[in-house]
Structure formats: C-alpha cells, structure tokens
Amino acid sequence: MAETPVLKELLRLPVMAAAFGYLVDMYDLFLFSVVRVPSLRAIGASGDELLRHGVLLLNMQMAGLLLGGIGWGILGDKKGRLSVLFGSILIYSLANMANGFVQTVPQYAVFRFIAGIGLAGELGAGVTLVTEVLPKQIRGYGTTLVATLGVIGAILAYFVADIFDWRMAYFIGGGLGLLLLVMRMKVFESPVYTKMKSMPVQRGNLLMLLKPRRFLKYLQCIAIGLPIWFVVGILITFSPEFGQALDLQQPVVAGKAVMLAFAGQVAGDIVSGLLSQYTKSRRKIVLLFILLSCLFIGGYLLLPVRTTGAFYVVCALLGFTNGYWALFVTVAAELFGANLRATVATTVPNFVRGAVIPLTTLFLYLRPAWGLVYSAMAVGALTVLLALAALYFIDETFTKDLDYVEAN
C-alpha cells in the first residue's frame, strides 16, 4: 500500500527531529520524578526530607524552565528555530549526565536548574517548526506526533530507571540527547521564518507581548495548561505521600505512578489530536479534556480507593486527561504571528511548568491546616477554574493561516 500524503508529510525530517527531541526532553524531565526517592536516599536524605528536598529540586528545575523558556523563545524568533533545537539539547544532555555525579542536595539542585534551562527550549521550538512546515489541514497531526513521542520518553524513563541504577539512568538520557544532535545536522529552517527574516518587523521582542490585548491572550494560553501541571507536579510526583494519606494497603511507587500516568497521556494525546482533526476544533476538545481532568482529580482525592492497584488505575486516567498538552501548545503557537511565535510557544509551556512553584508553595502552605488531600483539592480546583475562564475567551485556531506577523 502506498504511503498517504499525510504520512509522507509527518515523516519529514524536521517533524521527526522535533518529535524525537521532545522524547529525550520528557525522558529527562520526568526521570527526576521517577528517581526522586532512591536518588535522595543515596545522598543521605530520609523521612520528611524526601518530600522537602523533593519540592526544592522540583522547584529548581522549574525555575530553570522559566528562565530558559524566555531566553530560548527570544532566540528562536531572533536567530531561528534551529538555533534553539541545537542549543537546548546540548545543554540538557550535558546537565543530565552531570546529575548522575551529584553527591549532595545543593549539587543536585544546581544541576536540576541547569537541566531545566536546557529543557525549556525543546517543545516550543519543535512545535513552532512543525506548525510552520506542515500544511494547516494536518499540522494538528504533527504536533500530536511530537507530544506522543514526548510522553513515550517519560515512560521510557520509568523502564530505564527500573533496569539501571539512578545514576546510569541519567547518563543514558544525556547520551541519547547527544546522539540526536547528529540527526539534527540535516534539518532545515522553517520557510515561514526564512520569509519573515527579510521583513521590517521586530522579532522576539518581549515588550510587544505587553500590549494589553496581546498580553491578555498570552495569559489565557498559560492558564489553560495549568491543570496539566497540577496533576503532574503535585498529584503524580508526590503520589507516595498521597497513597499514605489515603491509607492504601501497600506503598505507592512513584516511578510506577509516573509511568502509568504518561502511558495514559500517550492515549490522551492521540485521542485529543484525532478528535481535534475530526471536529476541526481545538477549543471544543481542550474543554472536554479539562472537564475530564476535573472529574478524575476529584476521583483521585475523594474516591474510597483502598488498593494500590486501583490507585494506579486512577493515575492512568488522570494521565489520559492530560492528553490535551499538544493541543494547548499548538493553540499558543497558532494565536501569534511568526515574529513572536517561537517566543510564545516556548515560554507558555514553560510558564505552565514553572507554575508548579507557586502551586506547590500554596499546596504546602495549606497542608498543615487542611491536610494533604484537601489542600491538593483546593489548588486543583483553582487551576481548573482559571483554565475554563481562559478557554472561554480564546479564539478557535484550527484553520488559521500562520504566514503572518504581529505589528510592532
């Protein structure tokens, strides 16, 4: 059977390079969630320190993502999408390897911060490149492919960490990233960006985002992704603590919860992408998945689950509802012109990731008075309400032509 034009387009080198880059990106990003407990124990932490140091390291990683997201986004619009694809993977690959050598919590924090800076550029630059090289009728398939392979990277992190020592798992991630650099040597720049370079417009200027209507649209893009990282950064990352609070019969293994959540997200990414193409709408499908996320957040925290197996099933369902991640980033890329697209598509997902810092801070602040479960419920409800309010005002972007620029 001959290949379909859609398949031929999706197998183009820029699309595959972006997809495999995000696979390595997600491997590193979630490897820490998988190895948090054994790695901290290996360098001397125990008891409540596992949660306290874990939050510190997660927040350092997310701070790096915030800072890196701004820098890589500006670079992607000023110097090109490829500059980010090369630079980001080099930094996070080397930082990944360095994580395997840490001996103290401060060392660990420094290298998680550096890794976060490197990780910040991959998704936004990849999605920007994919949306600009593919025809508008199928670009949703392209970003779904990128997100799906990325989530497979998170699952891969679980299996690698299960087979190898946590230090070796970091070394393997760094090696995969360096190998990917070879693949990217033949990737070409986006034609939309090449055309835009010759135009008399400002590129990657953050001040342009501060114009009221544009800034509001930017904040709305961030808000619709908040429930995803509430689930990942709090419910799944700290699943052992939630399992204990829910009096499960057996302890929850964080790595298994992460693996199952991201297995669910693979299915969610595929389903949301196909539904978006079928309905020719981004907004309707994002709304559906946010509502499903709200439902299963409540189930995770309130259902009388007593067995660890049932708890893992809920983790997988939560992961499925996170499957609008690709659509959320695609919407951000489609809402802005070519001279700000990389800046937006790179900073928005990283601000969502970085939102874990205030979310975990609020969660820990409420915990002494409200308890683990109800403090998480309050924070989760806040993220869902913000996401629904933002989505209500966002334009549909499915058929939008991306060959345009934002006025200075």
Kindly give the confidence (pLDDT) of every residue in the chain, 408 residues in length, as a single tens digit, with 9 standing for 90 and above: 344 477 788 888 888 988 998 899 889 887 887 888 899 999 988 888 888 888 889 889 888 988 998 999 999 999 888 889 889 989 999 999 999 999 999 999 999 999 999 988 888 888 888 988 888 888 888 988 888 888 788 888 888 998 999 999 999 999 999 988 888 888 888 888 888 888 888 888 888 988 999 999 999 999 999 999 899 889 998 898 899 888 887 889 887 888 899 889 889 988 998 999 899 999 999 999 999 999 999 999 988 888 899 999 999 999 999 999 888 989 998 999 989 998 999 999 888 887 888 999 999 899 999 999 999 999 999 999 999 999 999 999 888 888 888 887
CA-wise closest residue to 282 among 345, 331, 217, 320: 331
The angle that helices 338-354 and 325-334 make with each other, rounded to 10 degrees, is 140
Strands (E) in 271-370, as ranges, are: none
In terms of Cβ atoms closer than 10 Å to its own Cβ (0-12, 13-18, 19+), residue 379 is buried
CA–CA separation, 56 vs 50, rounded Å?
10
Q: Cα angle vertex 240, ends 237, 367, to 5°?
A: 80
Task: Show the tokens assigned to 236.
Answer: 């799944």
The radius of gyration of the chain's CA atoms, rounded to the nearest angstrom, is: 20
Q: Which residues of 167-189 are buried (b: 16+ CB within 10 A; e: fewer)?
A: bebbbbbbebbeebeeebeebeb
| Class of the CATH-defined domain 5-185+201-393 | mainly alpha
Burial of 299 (0-12, 13-18, 19+ CB in 10 A): middle
Give the residue among 140, 79, 143, 183 at the shortest CA–CA distance from 349. 143
